[in-house]
Amino acid sequence: MIKKALLIIGLIIALLITGCAKTPTGEKQQKESLKTPDQITVQAPLAPATAPLLKMAGEGLPSGVKINLIIYKTDEEATTRVIKNEADFSILSTNLAAKLYNKEVDISLANVNTWGILYLISTENGINKWNDLKGKELYIGARGSTPDVLTRYFLHKNGLSENDLKITYLQSPEIARMIISGLAKNAVLPEPMVTQALLNNNKARIVEDFYEDWKTIEGGNAGLPQAGMFVRNSFAKSFPSLVTSFQQAYSGALDETVNNPAGSASLVETSLQIPAPVFVQSIKRTHLKFVEGQKAKKDVEIYLSRLLELSPDMAGGKLPDEKFFLKN
């Protein structure tokens, strides 16, 4: 009986020793799994809101974390990378992100940065308002893109449907070249391509400002949250302090770009192939502002609601729920 008791005590002691020996290793492995990464991946389009990221990519975050910046050319490319979890942060159009979220892609809105960069321009006499496009040909960026969905919204609000005119879809850079060469007369373009067109074709002029039109329809205080920075939720949950650091750095860089566009113009010319003088001048008509996702919630919901009223497929069939907005 005594031998059996001693054997049991011995086994208990051995288990305790083994458990103590494994605890530090387990804790170390857990800490290592949550260790701040040396590098984060950010993807962004050929657009003004990407300009602040160029400098950030060169300097990295204050903590020393490097930024791998990927410039994408199509929504399809960006979408693929988001679905495959190959980007920690992505600048996406708001309605595209809503579509992805409604398909259970695990992303959330970290901030809205683009509040109006689209314009209707024309080289044709007699085109002075939306209604004048009836029976005309209008060139717009890819079907389902922000230029497309907003154009259809404004046409609808002005009593026109897409059947009242001929809409031709091409990529915006190609459309800008066609306006400059005279091959196209009416187009919806974003900045800085608007400035490029105005500088290179003296017949080109701005007919409608989407930013102002939205305010006229929705009320003077309404914001037009066209695009924002979206974060992979698993990344945000694992590294909340890194997300905060990135948000702060991007907010500061965005303000600097708006207040001193000449300071980043050379980087923009090299990386985004936008001539420096064009970029500097275009900022005057580019509405860039950093607003945290939660604080932009009302504007985003109004924006997506209007698109859903026009066509359910514009934002994935329904409004995203609360989890679409990153918690601070």
Residue 283 near residue 261 (C-beta atoms within 8 A): yes
77: exposed, middle or buried (C-beta count within 10 Å: 0-12, 13-18, 19+)? middle
Query: What is the model's pLDDT at position 142?
Result: 84
Query: What is the model's pLDDT at position 7?
Result: 45
Q: What whole-number distance in Å separates Cα of residue 325 and Cα of residue 328?
A: 9
- What sign does the dihedral 69-117-78-138 (CA atoms) show? negative
Query: What is the model's pLDDT at position 143?
Result: 87
Query: What is the model's pLDDT at position 230?
Result: 98
pTM, two decimals, is 0.87
> Residue 173 — φ and ψ, nearest 5°?
-60, -40
Residue 266 near residue 54 (C-beta atoms within 8 A): no
Q: What whole-number distance in Å separates Cα of residue 192 and Cα of residue 278?
A: 7
For the chain, domains (ranges, CATH) are 39-115+225-324 (3.40.190.10), 118-218 (3.40.190.10)
Query: What is the model's pLDDT at position 34?
Result: 62
Q: What whole-number distance in Å separates Cα of residue 172 and Cα of residue 160?
A: 23
Strand 137-140 with 107-114, pairing: unpaired
Up-side HSE of residue 194: CA atoms within 13 Å toward CB?
28
Residue 273: count other Cβ atoms within 10 Å of its Cβ: 10
Tell me the one-letter amino acid at 29. Answer: Q
Length of the chain: 328
Per-residue burial over 238-250, b = 16 or more CB atoms within 10 Å of its CB, e = otherwise: ebeebbebbbebb
Residue 96 near residue 167 (C-beta atoms within 8 A): no
Q: What whole-number distance in Å separates Cα of residue 140 and Cα of residue 120?
A: 9
Tell me the one-letter amino acid at 312. Answer: P
Rounded to whole angstroms, what are the CA distances from 166 to 124, 159, 169? Answer: 15, 15, 10
Residue ranges of the chain with per-residue pLDDT less than 70: 1-34
Up-side HSE of residue 3: CA atoms within 13 Å toward CB?
0
The pLDDT tens digits of the residues spanning 70-102 come to 999 999 999 999 999 999 999 999 999 999 999
